[in-house]
Structure 1
């Protein structure tokens, strides 16, 4: 039996995390949550607390700001559903990794390798792995190089996961639409 890969995307505060949590609960437990956020300030601490409060005790949480593919492998051992929240924060962690290269081409290659590891780990499980990500490419072009690099890397990560996902959901203003069923495939490589 092969697990499924599900992707929830949308803008900031669109309701995508809540929709992904509800989807996960509807699949039955046990449930695992892979948290990629790092708490650097009080505002982020409040956001994390809200997510924890919503999940209550029915979730086993794995903290994975780096090497999240290992967290997927570990979570899969005791879970039916894994919620990975979120791919864009994980991309940010990889981009700003103090141990990583400062060269843009090297950072891009490193990030792609890490996303490929995530995908391979998810594909090897017998669980449903739900990725949550922000759609960051629908706004204006950022004015600084780091923000543009982040947008580009996030877009590449999103496309890679969407390409292998069994289901892809777009959440806008709390409304969820399944995209994979209505998507047009022009057989292009990501």
Structure 2
């Protein structure tokens, strides 16, 4: 399965869906740039990708912090020569209603779940354009369209991802960049 030979893929997050995505892209031949804040998960993913013989760079990065995302993308591009794929999977999932969610938690959810997509686009799309285009996949959620109780911040961010995905798709289609979102159901 070498459907990603010669491609460089950025994946935000190093656990769960992000980890599985990084492994699959690596199995397909892509060089991987993975960004995560969980040091133990970062080390495990780096070791796993190394054992598999994958070209990989796993970086401790808070994807809600602009200069950290900019540096991480620059490091990955320097190491692997460009950027072709971005998979935005990093997320936080706070529980709470509008009246029980404190403002700090609300802002962190917005910054990680939506802001990180903006940041990877801001710093990653110029690199994709240099290579003639690419693909971006944003991991949203069914919560973005049909939410349950007690997830006000999370559901709001996932709805925003749908809108940001459409906006990015319209803005960069002429540059050869496809932008899609996927909406998984509950994941442990």
Q: TM-score, normalised by structure 1?
A: 0.49
Q: TM-score, normalised by structure 2?
A: 0.50
Q: Which has the higher contact order (CA 8 A, sep 6+)?
A: 1
The structure with the greater share of residues assigned to helix is 2
